Structure 1
Amino acid sequence: MKIPFYMKIFLAFVLFSSILFALFIFLFKDFYEKELILKQRDSIEKILSYKSNLIDEYTNEINEKLKALHKIIKSKNLKNNNEITRLFSLIMESNKDILSMKYLSLTGKEIARVDFKNEKLKIIESKSLQDSTSRSYFKDIRILKNNQIWYSSFDIYKQKGEIVKPLKYVLRVVLRVDNGFLMVLLDAKSLLFKIQNSYEDSLFVIDKDGYYLIKEEKKLSWSKYFDSNMTIQKDYETYFQDILEKNSVSSNSFVSKRVYLSSKEYIILLFNINELEKKNSLNSFENYVYTIFIVGIGITLLLSLLFAEPIAKLNRKTEQKNRALDMSIKKSSQELQESLNIINKHVIFLKLDKDGIILDVSKAFCEVSGFIKEELLGHHHKILMHPDMSDKKYEEVWSYLKQGKSYIAEFKSMKKDGGFYWVESYIEPVYDSNSNLVGYTSIRNNITDKKLIEYLYDDLNNQVLQYNAIFENANSGIGLIDLKGNFQKVNSMFTKLLGYSNEELLKSSCFDIIKKESKQLLAKIFKEANEIGFISNIEKIFIHKNGHFIHLELSLNLLPNKKSFVVVVSSLEDKRKLQELNQNLEQKIKQEVQKSRYKDKIHQEEQIKNIKLTSIGSLAAGITHEINTPLTYIKGNFEMMGYDIQDLPNSEIKNRMLEDSQKINEGLNRIANIVESMREISQSSSEIKEVTNIYSTLITALTMAYNRSKQVSRIYLNNKEFNIDSINKKEFEFFSKVQKQRVEQVWIVIINNALDELAKIDDYEKRALNIDIYEKNSHIYVEFKDNAGGIDESIIDTIFEPFVSSKEHSGIGVGLNISKRIIEQQNGQIKAYNKGSNAVFEVCLKAVLS
């Protein structure tokens, strides 16, 4: 006999209920306890979720305020410190939990800052603004993308590294904007205590390093600073690692949950489960468990009778639904295939093996790149990289992927026809069932248009910067005014010409800064400019801020929108100065022409003098030769005569003859020295440099100047007075490779110049010329030092330039210029300076071995 289905259900239900309730007394207590714990956890999780929502609402509110602030700054084009700090002050007056607001440049320098100190707002002056690049948070915020927001961790407010008391709990929030960063320092104390509200004994706030931020005992709060040993490791030794590393952790004694402020920054909320409450609930349950059991048995029988037939009907309906579900699955499978076809057509997709070989591409990828699928399969994906992409960037991406990490990057890719396109690529590793890396998938978004817009924006921004630079650095005052003459914008030169500040001008009009009687004429000029489009170069008298009148040249140009004029004012002082400069230039040209003619005349005279000197040199060479022959004859015979005198008997006549002979010998030696010096000077100047004793050249020059020097001043050579009667050219030897006659010419010029100055001193005994020659650091130094009062300071810097002379009645100022050129040709240096009241000429030549 076949038993109806509903009867089977009834009997099974009764049997199951009997077994269930037989086990109820033994098992339901544990079940209830676990259920109680689950309920407590659920309740705690709801509490934690609520607290988490509080933080989310708080951060969302801050985010919205920051973005709204950015929109205000951007819409009003606020750029200078005063405008931004004024806006900051308004916001902080209505938001008492804001401790500080900053505007940083992209380089980390503060553009504007307002602090809330001692219950007052303090606007930081420009000179006190700081550089934030050294701050620990700057390395995190400088990598932010535009409109991205960064949150710091909760911390105690510190100044110069010291904790400020009373304690303030702070939170930094930074918004990356177009040209910098907006930073807000918030007082987070109210938020933290709102989180712990009503649960002081159970709910704790912990930072990501395991230190307590808020604990039931106030002295244990902020344990990072006040008790570094007080961490969750001490209180939750078994679970502390899971608490720190996992988003949420549940146990029989607590529930913890991470709450993120941003992608990196978070806090941990930890809620302790109350053991006493759980025990009281279990004791109450035991009093009712047996009553529930009896009632349950009765209810089970009743329910079995009531639900047996409905369950049977439900079973029939279920079978019908199963058949309908099969049909639905088939239909869904078709729809899924259609969706895959849509993805293949519209999503840029690329699949690679672990070596980067292309395994599959979507139809959308082929359309963008210009390749067909068969041309790409089996090839390395590097064929898609554009040459502009550096190998370093490619290696960086690939090394990152080999670590099994996902990567998002922008790539410039190459089309089949050689063109390019930009993509934003999300690359993710693919693993097999054994967790082995087998390849990569890349989903790409075509951002070519976005990149082109970025390039256009950058170019436009550069042009704006260029125009602003031209505007601010123009030599004329430039401004923008409306049709009624009210200033809308002015450059720095405009304010400089009139003496007003930028703010003062923007609050006034053109009619406020001109003479009263000129206002009607200026209104007429505005009207004409509005009709014809421009007015140029009209001289007007403006009133400077200090009250005096200034003459400026005014030009007006109507802008295409016919709502504003560009006004340009130029100082007429520049025109007057230009006229004076032109006059001075004409006068200077006349002087230079006159000077040039004088130089030509002097040059001709010098040429004539050189011809004469050449003739004199030739004559001197002949004379020295003619004198030298009889002089040799006389010296030889005089020497023989000396021997004869020595043979005479001693007498007064012999002694007198010996004395006369000595004087005659000194005269002959003097004649010989003069002839020798004339011979050396008169020799043709050789352009070939040779190793020469510089001391010997000084002796030759002093000999040539001796006839004059003995009448003007004593000359000391290496602290020894020069005497033509006792000459030894080899007494000192300082060798250098030079042109001998040219160097001697330099010595003669310097000696004669010194004698000219010394001659101005009345007392002969007070005149002195000291010449010192010495060697130092492989160089020979020759110093000429006279005590004639020194070189005139007005010419000391230009004394070696042509036509510069201190002589009043003679000299054309070319001797020292020629001397300087000669010394430089010998690879030496010459310089002049004053040492006390002494004029010093110092010549330096390179020393060589003899």
Structure 2
Amino acid sequence: MKLSNFIIRIIIAIAFTTLFLSFMISITFQYKKFKEDKIFIKTEFIKSKKEQIKREVISIENLIDQKEIILTNSIKEKIKERVTQAHNIAMTIYDENKNSKSKEDIELLIARTLNNLSYENDKTYFFINSNKGQAILFNKKILLDKYNDIWNLKDGNNNLFIQEQAKIAIENKEGFLTNSFVRPNNTDNKQYTKISFVKLFEPYNLHIGMGEYTDDIKSLAQNEILDLIASIRFNEDNYLFVNSTDGYSLVFDGKRNEPAMIHPNKNLYSQQVEAVKNPEGEFIFYKFKKINSTKEYDKISFVKKYEKYGWIVGCGIYLDEINNELENIENIFKKSINDQFIYIFIMFILMVIALYLTSKRISKFINLNVLYLISSFDKASRENKTIDTKNLTYKEFISLANKLNITLENKNETEKRLQDHIQLINENIIISTTDKDGYIVDVSEAFCKISGYTKEELIGKTHKVVRHPDTPDKFYEDMWDRLLSGQIWEGEIHNRNKNGKDYWIYAIIKPLFRNNEFIGFTAIRTNITDKKHIEQLSITDELTNLYNRRFFNIKIEEEINRAKRENHYFSFLVIDIDYFKQYNDTYGHQQGDVVLEKVASVFKKRTLRGSDFAFRLGGEEFGIITTLNKEKVMEFAHLIKDEIENLKIEHKANEVSKFVTISIGIVSKEKDEITNSDLLYKEADDCLYEAKKLGRNSIFIL
């Protein structure tokens, strides 16, 4: 009949429409959330990269200052050693000749010996003066043939430097001083700043000395710094660059220009000059090619002026990296949508088949009853019998009773179908119901499936049975505050099933009322574990599976705030693989990646507590955040250091061990000592530098 066919079409159409609309609403919600996540990821990526390149430029500025100090101290040690050596030579000459030669002959012999003592590729020279002002060996000339009084000789700063030298020799036996003096063999008579060391020669009340011109030290420091800057790479395409404020390029396109050349891009150079008018440095945006490429990409750089040398130091990052990352995330999202579509399509086919068979049975039942009704009236019509009113009333009552029985049978059949649908919901929708105290009174089979517990194990328990240990108490306190106020709570919850496997759900929890009396709660949940997995990928380093630098920049701020709020220690470890560049040079970068993975596996194994986090900060540099106090964190650091060396990874270029080792810098502070993340990072990095100064394979804690 047409009626039965119409019913079948209506049922299928309603089922298809409901399923399609549900799917489209779900996809729309997911797509909107994905778009928001893309904007957030892009914003955070650019923000973290800007902080990174700014930090690199500032670290180079600090490195330049440290390099000149270290070099100056090294020069001072060198001239002190040489003056001591010269003094020993003079004493030897004196001891060998004091009984056979005159004072004048011995002084002449000492002066000639020291004047002829020179060092390869070195401009230093010795001088000898009496502590009363007589020049003996002065400006590389022996002046013993006549008395040369230089007692009142002044340098370019109007200092009586001969008297200062004599005072140091007489009072302290030896010591350093700074003065200005002409360069030997120079015709300009210009005086240059000089660091000198003098030592008392007691037999004749003389002082012997040597000096180094500070502009030579500065030039040497600049050359070493430029070579270092040219060698630094943050990855294949990112590097540091240096220009002079007079228009020359010193380090360009990842290479040092020696000699310096005029900057090849006037517009870019002008942009840099304008930016460094800000003494704190500034970010600039432009297009520039990558190394060994002619194609230009969008790039952002941070530039800052180093006043002392008149340098513009900068570091940049190409923005196409974010597009690559977003493309990977979008591919994951598309795959997730495709998987959902296939699942929905299979569900639709099965539902259409079930509904079709059910509808055919229902329509057949309707046809039989309608035909029976028609045949009954037809039979009565054909027999043309007069129906007694009383009998007619009786027959109609019987007919009504029969129809009521049919209606009852239909109702029972419908209830059976309803139970099937309820079972479908029970098997696929994660639902739980609790009393007003939070004790579970009913759960769906889907809840049992995702949690791993049976219904009997869950009834009478609270949802703490699936609570993840890393979830803070404050999270559930806020949830209960809202629910007990009669409001609906919505949000993401991190759970752990009976087998210890983590999963994420999106929950909607609604208070239940009966006759205006509060009786409990009902919660409907959606499994969002795959979505959270996608989010996890965006904060994980691909090679080592540790957290990446982007997540570190977020997490360090969170953990600092948590340390202050919960009044516990904040400890930060910066870890560097010793001589890792030499390892790559010896064994190759592919084997170097294997070392990074093995070292990272140790960090991951040792940071399983909820309050411990391990990161790959870049290259061979790693970081660990923990709440351990100073004593415990030192034990923790020694454990990690020893475990790395016990991996027994061969490292022929390691100067402290025949295996791969690490150096660790640690900052451990209580809440009142914590300032900000940038200072903490710098202090930890300084500690790492001190650990390396100790000879590497070492630990230094602040």
TM over 0.5: no
Largest Rg, 1 or 2? 1
Higher relative contact order (CA 8 A, sep 6+): 2
Task: State TM-score, norm by structure 1.
Answer: 0.24
